[in-house]
Amino acid sequence: MATTLITGGTVVSATGRAAADVLVDGETIRAVLEPGSPLLGTDVAASVDRVIDASGKYVIPGGIDAHTHMQLPFGGTEASDTFETGTRAAAWGGTTSIIDFAVQTYGQKIQDGLAAWHEKAAGNCAIDYGFHQIVGDVNDESLAAMRKLPDEGISSFKLFMAYPGVFYSDDAQILKAMQVSRDTGMLTMMHAENGPAIDVLAQQLVDQGNTDPYYHGIARAWEMEEEATHRAIMLAKLTGAPLYVVHVSAKQAVEQLAWARDKGQNVYGETCPQYLYLSLEDQLGASSEKWGHFEGAKWVCSTPLRSREEGHQHSMWQALRTNDLQMVSTDHCPFCMKDQKELGMGDFRKIPNGIGSIEHRMDLMYQGVVTGEITLERWVELTSTTPARMFGLYGQKGVIQPGADADIVVYDPNGHTSIGLDKTHHMNMDYSAWEGYEIDGHVDTVLSRGKVVVDDNAYLGTKGDGRFLKRGLSTYLI
């Protein structure tokens, strides 16, 4: 396979930045060299096949999106991105690995759910992919099966305190699953919202005629996220399980995580771009000529977008700076308006939950560098290095160093990206949740294990090039 030299750029890591050239040999990084170095000491010096000029640009480890839902069955339909379309869109946006959620549905064996997910993904991905396991039915059989997951390269599982009758686990089930997490070292990932209470509030709102998407955000009050986050923390403390709370959106939930972390508990959290930029008022409460108040359905996801007046978005950025939250994933779970989100016209409870963002995460987070919310190094840490450490990929992924996979993004801080359906949009959706967003930067070149998959606005990836990532245990835990 080809050798590539990326010259003249600034290599950015989670801990610093330096002018350096990066030599890629086949699928891996061979050397990180002083600028202009004649490649002394390497036997490939005479035979570099390709030079990428990164002058004035950042050279960063490829993004790792640790929370995606390709083809997730939800609310009587299925998330609209396949592994093929979703990983292609990821590559366009500078993400070179995903960790998707394999699903065990109620009544199903974990092994069968996992096998079905392998079948969906195998041969279809443009970039590397791993799985977490959703455990939707905690029982004696699944508890035994969970213990074997690390051998399959699956070192984390997700439980739901929300969605009664679908993925929901009660406290007894959570406790038992967390004991498996403690024993095996697998990370417990938690959807922390009090589902039974939310369902009562949602029913009452619908009975009162409040059926618009906006009321999705009212029913799923932040108190229900704070309460569930606290309960998850206490169950984790009791069992000794490491805990990772997904899609955190409420500032009060972050306060719970910070409180537990200050006591030395192995508790972590991610947020998503939608909770940093979007709001209950501006998006869930939106209306348009085409859709009226149903416009807000475009942004129905759980946990919901929060009130800007209450300051949640500001608190999420702050938590990313203070490390009360450690990562940013997308929770990519796209649905089209037509025939999918439309299922919930007249009843917000029937709107399939999810937003598509996989293509824009690196750009949206870079804009946080531009606006002074986070540093350049923190950008790399939140989007690549910590995801690699948290989910057992570090060394192979998440870092530019000799021996690591050559997953590399050349990012142009002087470029520009206009997001919109008829502009940058490769996700399989009929709208963009990020329509009109302008980014003061640009993903120029993307390498996935040494192969250039995006080059100057051209897509060169190939379906099936992405390999399954057998992950180890987290190396982030204390």
Tokens 């990532």: give the residue.
469
Rounded to a whole number of angstroms, the distance between the first and last alpha carbons of the chain is 39
Beta carbon of residue 67, minimum distance to ligand URP (angstroms, whole number): 7
Beta carbon of residue 369, minimum distance to ligand URP (angstroms, whole number): 26
227 binds, among Zn ion, ligand URP, none (CB under 5 to 8 A by kind): none
Contact call for residues 178 and 237 (beta carbons, < 8 A): no
Which residues, listed in sequence order, are joined to residue 98 by a DSSP beta bridge? 65, 129
Q: Which residues bind ligand URP (CB under 6 A)?
A: 69, 191, 247, 301-302, 331, 333, 353-354
Contact call for residues 315 and 306 (beta carbons, < 8 A): no
Beta carbon of residue 333, minimum distance to ligand URP (angstroms, whole number): 4
444 binds, among Zn ion, ligand URP, none (CB under 5 to 8 A by kind): Zn ion
109 Cβ contact list (under 8 Å, min separation 6): 141, 142, 145
220 belongs to the binding site for Zn ion (CB under 5 A): no
**Nearer of residues 81 and 444 to Zn ion, judged by Cβ:** 444
191 belongs to the binding site for Zn ion (CB under 5 A): yes
- Write the DSSP assignment of 77-108 as a string of letters: EE-S--HHHHHHHHHHTTEEEEEEEEEE-TT-
Contact call for residues 63 and 357 (beta carbons, < 8 A): no
82 binds, among ligand URP, Zn ion, none (CB under 5 to 8 A by kind): none
415 belongs to the binding site for Zn ion (CB under 5 A): yes
332 belongs to the binding site for Zn ion (CB under 5 A): no
Beta carbon of residue 342, minimum distance to ligand URP (angstroms, whole number): 17
Beta carbon of residue 162, minimum distance to Zn ion (angstroms, whole number): 7
Beta carbon of residue 279, minimum distance to ligand URP (angstroms, whole number): 16
Cα distance between residue 362 and residue 374, in whole Å: 13
Query: Phi/psi class of residue 280: alpha, beta or left (left: φ > 0; alpha: ψ in -120 to 50)?
Result: alpha
Beta carbon of residue 190, minimum distance to ligand URP (angstroms, whole number): 11
**Nearer of residues 331 and 444 to ligand URP, judged by Cβ:** 331
**Nearer of residues 69 and 306 to ligand URP, judged by Cβ:** 69
**Nearer of residues 101 and 411 to ligand URP, judged by Cβ:** 101
Contact call for residues 65 and 96 (beta carbons, < 8 A): no
Q: Give per-residue burial for 362-392: e unless 16+ CB within 10 Å, then b.
A: bbbbbbbbeeebbebbbbbbbbbbbbbbbbb
Q: Which of 216, 261, 442, 451 binds Zn ion (CB under 5 A)?
A: 442
Tokens of 175: 């406790």
Tell me which stretch binds Zn ion (CB under 5 A): 89-97, 259-267, 426-434, 442-450: 442-450
Beta carbon of residue 167, minimum distance to ligand URP (angstroms, whole number): 8
Alpha helices in 371-475 (DSSP H): 376-380, 386-390
**Nearer of residues 4 and 283 to ligand URP, judged by Cβ:** 283
**Nearer of residues 377 and 412 to Zn ion, judged by Cβ:** 412
81 binds, among ligand URP, Zn ion, none (CB under 5 to 8 A by kind): none
Q: Which of 152, 199, 412, 435 binds Zn ion (CB under 5 A)?
A: 412
Q: Is the dihedral of CA 189, 187, 149, 172 positive or negative?
A: negative
Q: Which residues bind Zn ion (CB under 5 A)?
A: 191, 331, 412, 415, 442, 444
